[in-house]
Amino acid sequence: MTEATWYAPRNSMTKPRIASGPRSFMRLPVVEEPLTASGPVDIAVVGVPTDSAVSYRSGARFGPEAIRSASILLRDHNPATGVNITTDLSMVDAGDAPVVPGYHDLTLQRLQQHLEPLYRAGIVPLILGGDHSLVMAEMRALAAVHGKISVVHFDAHGDVLDDYYGVKHFHGTMFRRAVEEGVVDPARSIQLGMRGSVHPDDVDAGVALGYEVIPWPELDTLAPQEVGRRIRARVGDSPVLVSFDIDFIDPAYAPGTGTPEVGGPSTYRTVQYLRALGPLNYVGLDIVEVAPPYDHGDITSHAAAVVAFELLGQVAVSR
Amino acid sequence: MTEATWYAPRNSMTKPRIASGPRSFMRLPVVEEPLTASGPVDIAVVGVPTDSAVSYRSGARFGPEAIRSASILLRDHNPATGVNITTDLSMVDAGDAPVVPGYHDLTLQRLQQHLEPLYRAGIVPLILGGDHSLVMAEMRALAAVHGKISVVHFDAHGDVLDDYYGVKHFHGTMFRRAVEEGVVDPARSIQLGMRGSVHPDDVDAGVALGYEVIPWPELDTLAPQEVGRRIRARVGDSPVLVSFDIDFIDPAYAPGTGTPEVGGPSTYRTVQYLRALGPLNYVGLDIVEVAPPYDHGDITSHAAAVVAFELLGQVAVSR
Amino acid sequence: MTEATWYAPRNSMTKPRIASGPRSFMRLPVVEEPLTASGPVDIAVVGVPTDSAVSYRSGARFGPEAIRSASILLRDHNPATGVNITTDLSMVDAGDAPVVPGYHDLTLQRLQQHLEPLYRAGIVPLILGGDHSLVMAEMRALAAVHGKISVVHFDAHGDVLDDYYGVKHFHGTMFRRAVEEGVVDPARSIQLGMRGSVHPDDVDAGVALGYEVIPWPELDTLAPQEVGRRIRARVGDSPVLVSFDIDFIDPAYAPGTGTPEVGGPSTYRTVQYLRALGPLNYVGLDIVEVAPPYDHGDITSHAAAVVAFELLGQVAVSR
Amino acid sequence: MTEATWYAPRNSMTKPRIASGPRSFMRLPVVEEPLTASGPVDIAVVGVPTDSAVSYRSGARFGPEAIRSASILLRDHNPATGVNITTDLSMVDAGDAPVVPGYHDLTLQRLQQHLEPLYRAGIVPLILGGDHSLVMAEMRALAAVHGKISVVHFDAHGDVLDDYYGVKHFHGTMFRRAVEEGVVDPARSIQLGMRGSVHPDDVDAGVALGYEVIPWPELDTLAPQEVGRRIRARVGDSPVLVSFDIDFIDPAYAPGTGTPEVGGPSTYRTVQYLRALGPLNYVGLDIVEVAPPYDHGDITSHAAAVVAFELLGQVAVSR
Amino acid sequence: MTEATWYAPRNSMTKPRIASGPRSFMRLPVVEEPLTASGPVDIAVVGVPTDSAVSYRSGARFGPEAIRSASILLRDHNPATGVNITTDLSMVDAGDAPVVPGYHDLTLQRLQQHLEPLYRAGIVPLILGGDHSLVMAEMRALAAVHGKISVVHFDAHGDVLDDYYGVKHFHGTMFRRAVEEGVVDPARSIQLGMRGSVHPDDVDAGVALGYEVIPWPELDTLAPQEVGRRIRARVGDSPVLVSFDIDFIDPAYAPGTGTPEVGGPSTYRTVQYLRALGPLNYVGLDIVEVAPPYDHGDITSHAAAVVAFELLGQVAVSR
Amino acid sequence: MTEATWYAPRNSMTKPRIASGPRSFMRLPVVEEPLTASGPVDIAVVGVPTDSAVSYRSGARFGPEAIRSASILLRDHNPATGVNITTDLSMVDAGDAPVVPGYHDLTLQRLQQHLEPLYRAGIVPLILGGDHSLVMAEMRALAAVHGKISVVHFDAHGDVLDDYYGVKHFHGTMFRRAVEEGVVDPARSIQLGMRGSVHPDDVDAGVALGYEVIPWPELDTLAPQEVGRRIRARVGDSPVLVSFDIDFIDPAYAPGTGTPEVGGPSTYRTVQYLRALGPLNYVGLDIVEVAPPYDHGDITSHAAAVVAFELLGQVAVSR
């Protein structure tokens, strides 16, 4: 790897996409060696194949594989936004992070160590989960480099519970822990899309922690551009992580997930929100909770791949 | 079972939901003995595993099992309505009713006998179907206790055919039979969501029988609150059965059903209609036509569980 | 077959639909002999089981079988439009056209020969694909009979690429080839629904060829009646082919397809567009890219059957 | 249809099998008109799409469709036996028999009326079920024409229960009823393959009724030729029905069935038994309990199609 | 619960099995209260819904639910062995044990505490996994009561690795740990069925630890009775745990598992081994690694239910 | 890439297999650059994602992806043979070959050009299909380097038809074409496993062409070691291609294939045949016709991965 290299997807016009060999994200080159030079790599796609710490359906450990597989269909240009991410961003697939099934705390430690050098090098990792509990390591690593970060959190669930059967870390507590640990600034963070039945302890918990929360019944009434304005007003120029739980989208569109919550937005509405994000100081991206064993026709993986594509487009226009 | 017992779901915070043992509805206690005291039991969940009398796909006999399985994810509180059904209603899972596969008339007889004592005791059974033909027994038992009842009928099909290959009872004739038998008062009843191609005999048949009918193309243009007002105006304070055929919802959201009818409402729109029902004199509830062999990722079962949850919330606010 | 025969579906009231024997489209009589008399046959359903020339997922070769299977649920009358197609149109299932797997050019030749006599006889074939590349033969055969035709093209993709790994004919180039060969008049044709990421060569290519193009983000903002007006204004009284790629519809509603493109319209919105088409000089119809191995609960096939039903209704009202 | 017609499958060498149009069994001509002349038709394939009277999984109503679909892969010649059934037997697909979902007794009546003329005409119907309860009509119709018949019954279950939840006819009682009604001669009949757990009333019930019974643990130890000898010794020259429940085969090979019983023979072993049957006075054939919703990769349907193929080969060598 | 109660399955002759309500194992009564009296309860079925500590596919947390669901098909009597377990053994379904997803060590602690009282009361728990790592808690609890136990271990894998990515407890190390911790006596234990590719450290590791090991290529050559003799000779009268990993069976018969190993025995061969076990001093039973998301047609769950049924039969004949 | 590199799988003990990043075969390094030095590379895995030229089910184009995915479970050592392929053979994953969907002749040309340099460099490509028609290019390229080759052909079908709907090249004609073109020496080649119904032209066609043919009914009666002897006797020391069509194995074990043929061998029996091959002059290997859309639980892909593993073991012992 030399400074001069520009990393872009394999050409799909000489061999069909189906002949792209081992499935890397968007047919990008796989570069797993230390990516610590701040130069040519803008985006490093990192798989985090975890699902230990989930309360309902497991399976998200195969999320990275499935999203990579679906992503070979992504072409370079986005006609709706006019962005070509492959010319604007130098991107690699950096393989998978280390995980330790059954040992969530150990997973968080190893994952944080794996990610921190990337953030330090100015690279934006696009994390493909894996269950949402991984975001704890992501936020800790980000805070170690950037200080308190903002979070834009798309999800059907607030993930602000205090504990569950006596443990403090699982896929429903991270955004409470993050405030407690001081790695996230809730006053510059926002949660969108919460819906469905909740535990009584969970009512208004996000707001109590200091987050702005737009639950789905309210979000449904807002135009995407208005949503974009509220997000930008909240986040300002702080370093921001966009954390996207695929269960934000209605299970009709994204059935392959661990904790499906019926009654949410369509994929197109979701894409409109993402396009409305606009320029921000993006430092982290994740797409989590894709659980392929519950998917069909790979539609969840394709939805996740498109969410990634739109998020990358927003990073591109922010540079 | 003593008078003092309050029936509520098993605590999910000490053992995870996945460790809730045999799947009862919402992790409720299973109480199959005679529930004839009007005291502590408000809601009795009753599975009716039938699918003999269906014209297209069978499979709904496993509907009760699948809805129970999905329902373990339901938590107690509904942030959108502010209702906690588990503190407002004492609820049990009363197991399954007797059915006789291949002998529809016999099934109706045994089912009616099974249900009547519950209605007489002032309990509202939440029936988990099973195909929609079971509603005949439900309506007969209700009428035996309450006299002519009202029906609020959500469905893609009116189920008002006269006969089919020479028989009078199958899952497409019940709401005609109910008028003929005098168990339902069509003048205080309403059908919502009808769509798709129909047999020529079926055109305007519901209206001719005296029902108010809001087919889907009209329903689509109405705000949920307006729908709620029309339903309440129609039903008034009469004893009312809400009969919910899962094929009311578009098959993208509820594929696991016997007679899928593409081109209907989303689950969220459906939930909005249910939340707009408001206080009524609810005496019966059913959710029918969930056919698990055609489901995927259990999304239909989860949709059905949420429909049940919202209906129970409306019962709670009516007390 | 005599001149006096009127071809209509088998009666479903004496034997249930599930007992309709070998699955012909809508339980129509199967008539494969030459249908060259212009008299009693208005519509001939023709299966074209191809999927050789696809760039991503194969499987559409079983599309005709799956759509036929789902279509047995279609009843005669459309309450939303007031049309009964079975009394307005004499229809047969004409079996499958010859195809040559692995030899796309040969397939196009044999298919064109198979179709031309039907067009010449004034019959409107309803083609059940098969992948979209078959439309090349359809357009050539139509032009041989009618001269340059118009096309109303519903699709997530414009299919106006120039070539792909060195070949000129596959399922992404037909509507460019059609203009080059002079079989389609782009000035009287329209493409609707394009969305998703594209190859840079593909940006604005449809417009450059002379088509009117309404991509999905624009289409989403238009009322169906307005869409109908724009189509009718564009097409006028020219002979028109309606070519419907099932991936026009969002994969939540139509997952069983070869190149799923998330973020599109619902089936109901689609049906509204089709109902708004209105009277046109319909000479050809196709529904393509249904790939059953990726479907679930047959919802894609049911969506395709309903699209066919609505299109036939528009033909009926145009007579 | 003239006397001179020889009915044989559509040629698969000019159009591929996938282009065989509506799926008839083995691509045979569909002839539903009365087939009462004893002349040119040897075999009439009859679908019986029932599943009302089953105790566990429904779904067999789509068995005829699925077996027909798989059967298009069957070629004419059997190298293992040297038989070409299409030149030895004139065969048609006679469509589906009438059934009445939810009304088992009515189904039996209509089915018996439908079948009797075929037996009377000397045609051997190959019945594609449908659940096994249909065999009651088959045996009654056969006995009406031939007097008491013999049965060679391949099945994991003896189906000799007395009643079930108070009814006498469902898919577990037929071979007791048949003896009681005198339509079957148990002394010339044989049951093979019984295994798995049973109700205490069911122990040795077949033997008590007079059948020869070879349960699977014994059958497993016998060479196919020996099995053939025992069957022929038992049946002699009496008119014989071969009734084949697909759950005879282990669910690994035939998962798509209503009452799977693990721990049975492979498909190849099954084929060896069928090839060992040898010349008998075959008057009836059925293959039942294929339940496509529980199949995958259509392997059960393909197994059923091959069972049919081998049985037809035995009929051919018996003429 | 009184001393006099005999626990047996719900009667399936008055209501069909499909109407058995919430799915307990074999339709047994659910009794979760402390079962510490040694009196009337012989067998307590305990679900252990874990899958945290697996190296490949997760999903086994839904194993208990799936096996319970399939087990409703089990009838009381085993014709092959002449045993009726429901009259010989008083059995309850004791619900699920507590587990802590993502915290394997904590899961083991809680599980051990949950099980120990059962062993102390002389009850034989039939554990439904869950992944195999749970056996560590089972063996520790057994040893706390009985001292060093014997193990009869059916599995495709020896599970005798030393560590994996630095941790000592996951689903591939238990039978090494058990020897190190002194809870198992390898000299009276036996492993059967090992096959497939292995890590170099794993070669002959079981034998080095002191186990008798019969890998599949050898086992395949042994008659079931001979296998039974070798097991009995090894185990003698020591207290024995039979630990059955469903991947012992070939994935054609049991696809729904976490680490499928192709090339193993059929279910019938497996059943023959189990029937050959004979009288032993059974103190523990488990069936693990059923992962329903990878199953189809529930055949793996049905295989697991039958394995349980046969093991219970062996317990019955040992009393 | 330097001469000194030894290519071996990624270590699975530091990161779990599920964290192996983009799925290359057996977690091998991906090296797509020209591999023409005869030095360090013994085996190059090449995906050939074709399915254009198939007569029944398509889908094999995703075979390479699925086999790679399953192969991450393969460990290094084979206890049954004592071979560790990763220390005996230097292996890379060389990505996918170019293919042209819909243009079979073009695919064959490009594939032959892609493969020939590998053979010339003394590398043995392990081809992952794709449909079997690709073997034509493989045999032509092999013959260009080695002259006439031998073939050991495992398959349910002989693939020796003359033509099909007028074309000479599809997945049923290759082993006839190979003899006609003189690229294969039938006198030193052998076909094993043929079964099922055949077209009359196909009877004894393989033998007439000069092949030794052991159809399945005969093969079933032979001990694996005897099969190995016959193969070695036939092939001698000639350069040999082992061409393995996954449909050789019974569809219960390998349902995910294009032309399933029920009634064949188990996977274990298959593995025994492969282990009996013994030292030969292996120059080519392929595993074809894995069609993932028809697979379930990935069992077909796992079977294919193990077939590959066993074949590579035979190559290792031949060096």
Q: What domains appear along chain C, each with residue ranges and CATH number?
A: 41-317 (3.40.800.10)
Instruction: Please tell me the predicted confidence (pLDDT) of residue A39.
Output: 58
Q: Model confidence over B24-43: pLDDT tens digits?
A: 999 999 998 766 654 589 99
Instruction: Please tell me the predicted confidence (pLDDT) of residue E71.
Output: 97
Beta carbons of D163 and D174 less than 8 angstroms apart = no
Instruction: Please tell me the predicted confidence (pLDDT) of residue B317.
Output: 95
Best interface-test mutation with D: which of F157, F220, F262, F268 has the largest number of D CBs within 10 A? F262
Whether a cis peptide bond, with omega within 30° of 0, leads into C130 is yes
Distance of CA C236 to the CA centre of its chain: 20
* CB interface of F with C, residues 273-292, below 8 Å: none
CB-based contact F251 D75, cutoff 8 Å: no
pLDDT-derived band at C80, boundaries 50, 70, 90: very high
Give the mean pLDDT of A167-172. 90
How many residue pairs from chains B and D have C-beta atoms closer than 8 A? 68
Instruction: Please tell me the predicted confidence (pLDDT) of residue B3.
Output: 46
CB-based contact A299 C195, cutoff 8 Å: no
Cα separation, D161 vs D174, in Å, equals 8
Sequence-distant (6+) residues with CB within 8 A of D2 are none
Cα separation, C3 vs E220, in Å, equals 70
Which pair of structure tokens corresponds to residue D77?
């010649």
CB-based contact B299 A55, cutoff 8 Å: no
Sequence-distant (6+) residues with CB within 8 A of D86 are D8, D9, D26, D76
Do B and F make contact, counting contact as 3+ CB pairs within 8 angstroms?
no
Beta carbons of B84 and B153 less than 8 angstroms apart = no
Give the mean pLDDT of E18-24. 94
Q: Model confidence over A45-60: pLDDT tens digits?
A: 999 999 988 999 999 9
Cα separation, A169 vs A191, in Å, equals 19
Beta carbons of B48 and B67 less than 8 angstroms apart = no
Strands, E assignment, A73-130: 77-78, 83-84, 91-96, 124-129
pLDDT at E2 over 50: no
Give the mean pLDDT of C296-318. 98
Measure E269 CA to nearest chain D CA, in Å.
8
Is the interface score ipTM higher than 0.90?
A: yes
Instruction: Specify the 3-state DSSP secondary structure of B93.
Output: strand
Measure C109 CA to nearest chain F CA, in Å.
13
Measure C17 CA to nearest chain D CA, in Å.
10
β F281-288/F124-129 pair status:
parallel
Q: Model confidence over E84-103: pLDDT tens digits?
A: 999 999 999 999 999 999 99
CB atoms closer than 10 angstroms to residue A285: 24
Which residues in chain E are contacts of D199 at CB distance < 8 A? Answer: 12-13, 75-77
- Among the listed ranges B7-11, B36-40, B220-224, E108-112, which one has the minimum average pLDDT value? B36-40
Give the mean pLDDT of A73-91. 95
pLDDT-derived band at D1, boundaries 50, 70, 90: very low
Cα separation, C7 vs C1, in Å, equals 10
Instruction: Please tell me the predicted confidence (pLDDT) of residue A293.
Output: 98
pLDDT at B1 over 50: no
Measure B99 CA to nearest chain D CA, in Å.
9
Cα separation, E292 vs E64, in Å, equals 9
Closest CB to F293: pick one of C54, C104, C294. C294
User: Is F200 in the D-facing interface, judged by CB distances under 8 Å?
Assistant: yes
- Most confident range (mean pLDDT) of D34-38, E11-15, F14-18 is F14-18
Cα separation, B178 vs B185, in Å, equals 8
Average pLDDT, rounded, for chain B: 94
Q: Model confidence over C202-224: pLDDT tens digits?
A: 889 999 999 999 999 999 999 99
Measure B2 CA to nearest chain E CA, in Å.
16
With CA atoms as reference, the chain B residue closest to C72 would be B56
Instruction: Please tell me the predicted confidence (pLDDT) of residue C37.
Output: 56
Instruction: Please tell me the predicted confidence (pLDDT) of residue A2.
Output: 43
Best interface-test mutation with B: which of E10, E18, E107 has the largest number of B CBs within 10 A? E18
pLDDT-derived band at E222, boundaries 50, 70, 90: very high
Strands, E assignment, F200-319: 212-214, 239-245, 281-288
Instruction: Please tell me the predicted confidence (pLDDT) of residue C2.
Output: 44
Compute φ and ψ for A69, nearest 5 degrees.
Answer: -60, -45
Instruction: Please tell me the predicted confidence (pLDDT) of residue D2.
Output: 43
With CA atoms as reference, the chain B residue closest to E63 would be B18
pLDDT at E199 over 50: yes
Which residues in chain F are contacts of C111 at CB distance < 8 A? Answer: none
User: Is F51 in the C-facing interface, judged by CB distances under 8 Å?
Assistant: yes
DSSP E22-91: S--GGGPPB--S----SSS--EEEEEE---TT-SS---GGGHHHHHHHHHTT--SEETTTTEEHHHH--E
pLDDT at E236 over 80: yes
Low-confidence residues of chain F: pLDDT under 50: 1-3, 38
Instruction: Please tell me the predicted confidence (pLDDT) of residue C39.
Output: 58
pLDDT at A37 over 70: no
User: Which chains does E contact via 3+ CB–CB distances below 8 A?
Assistant: A, B, D, F
Q: Model confidence over B84-100: pLDDT tens digits?
A: 999 999 999 999 999 99
Which pair of structure tokens corresponds to residue E169?
């407890």
Cα A279-A285-A288 angle, rounded to 5 deg: 140
With CA atoms as reference, the chain E residue closest to F267 would be E263
Instruction: Please tell me the predicted confidence (pLDDT) of residue D8.
Output: 85
Instruction: Please tell me the predicted confidence (pLDDT) of residue E1.
Output: 38
Give the mean pLDDT of E117-126. 96
CB-based contact D22 C18, cutoff 8 Å: no
Compute φ and ψ for A245, nearest 5 degrees.
Answer: -90, 125
Instruction: Specify the 3-state DSSP secondary structure of B179.
Output: helix
Do C and D make contact, counting contact as 3+ CB pairs within 8 angstroms?
yes
Average pLDDT, rounded, for chain A: 94
Beta carbons of F77 and F126 less than 8 angstroms apart = no
Give the mean pLDDT of C268-280. 98
Instruction: Please tell me the predicted confidence (pLDDT) of residue B36.
Output: 60
User: Is C11 in the B-facing interface, judged by CB distances under 8 Å?
Assistant: no
With CA atoms as reference, the chain E residue closest to A166 would be E100
CB-based contact A18 F62, cutoff 8 Å: yes
Give the mean pLDDT of A103-129. 96
With CA atoms as reference, the chain A residue closest to F65 would be A22
Cα separation, A55 vs E101, in Å, equals 7
Instruction: Please tell me the predicted confidence (pLDDT) of residue C203.
Output: 87
Measure A90 CA to nearest chain E CA, in Å.
32
CB-based contact D197 E74, cutoff 8 Å: yes
Give the mean pLDDT of B102-113. 96
Best interface-test mutation with A: which of E56, E62, E103 has the largest number of A CBs within 10 A? E103
Measure F312 CA to nearest chain C CA, in Å.
30
* CB interface of E with B, residues 82-141, below 8 Å: 93, 95-101
Closest CB to F100: pick one of C100, C101, C165. C165
Rg (Cα) of chain F, in Å, rounded?
18
pLDDT at A38 over 80: no
User: Which chains does D contact via 3+ CB–CB distances below 8 A?
Assistant: B, C, E, F
- Among the listed ranges B12-16, D279-283, F102-106, which one has the minimum average pLDDT value? B12-16
F317 CB burial (10 A radius; 0-12, 13-18, 19+) = middle
Report the amino acid identity of residue D310.
Answer: E
pLDDT-derived band at E202, boundaries 50, 70, 90: confident
Instruction: Please tell me the predicted confidence (pLDDT) of residue E39.
Output: 58
User: Is D20 in the C-facing interface, judged by CB distances under 8 Å?
Assistant: yes
Measure B24 CA to nearest chain A CA, in Å.
16
Which pair of structure tokens corresponds to residue D156?
């994991």
pLDDT-derived band at E219, boundaries 50, 70, 90: very high
User: Which chains does F contact via 3+ CB–CB distances below 8 A?
Assistant: A, C, D, E
Which pair of structure tokens corresponds to residue C259?
């190149």
pLDDT at E37 over 60: no
pLDDT at D39 over 90: no
User: Which chains does A contact via 3+ CB–CB distances below 8 A?
Assistant: B, C, E, F
pLDDT at B15 over 70: yes
Q: Model confidence over A175-213: pLDDT tens digits?
A: 999 999 999 999 999 999 999 999 988 889 999 999 999
Best interface-test mutation with D: which of B52, B110, B259 has the largest number of D CBs within 10 A? B52
Do C and E make contact, counting contact as 3+ CB pairs within 8 angstroms?
no
User: Is D2 in the F-facing interface, judged by CB distances under 8 Å?
Assistant: no
Closest CB to A200: pick one of B84, B271, B298. B84
Average pLDDT, rounded, for chain C: 94
Instruction: Please tell me the predicted confidence (pLDDT) of residue C36.
Output: 60
User: Is B217 in the C-facing interface, judged by CB distances under 8 Å?
Assistant: yes
With CA atoms as reference, the chain F residue closest to C164 would be F100
Best interface-test mutation with A: which of F13, F15, F20, F32 has the largest number of A CBs within 10 A? F15
With CA atoms as reference, the chain E residue closest to D249 would be E268
Measure A103 CA to nearest chain E CA, in Å.
5
Q: Model confidence over E130-162: pLDDT tens digits?
A: 999 999 999 999 999 999 999 999 999 999 999
DSSP F86-141: HHH--EEEEEE----TTBHHHHHHHHHHHHHHHHHTT-EEEEEES-GGGHHHHHHH
Which residues in chain B are contacts of E21 at CB distance < 8 A? Answer: 30, 32, 47, 93, 95-96
Which residues in chain E are contacts of A259 at CB distance < 8 A? Answer: none
Cross-sheet strand order for the sheet of D124-129: D91-96, D43-48, D124-129, D281-288, D239-245, D150-154, D190-192, D212-214
Report the amino acid identity of residue B261.
Answer: E
CB-based contact A99 F30, cutoff 8 Å: no
Which residues in chain A are contacts of F98 at CB distance < 8 A? Answer: 14-15, 19
CB-based contact D18 C49, cutoff 8 Å: yes
Cα separation, F252 vs A79, in Å, equals 46
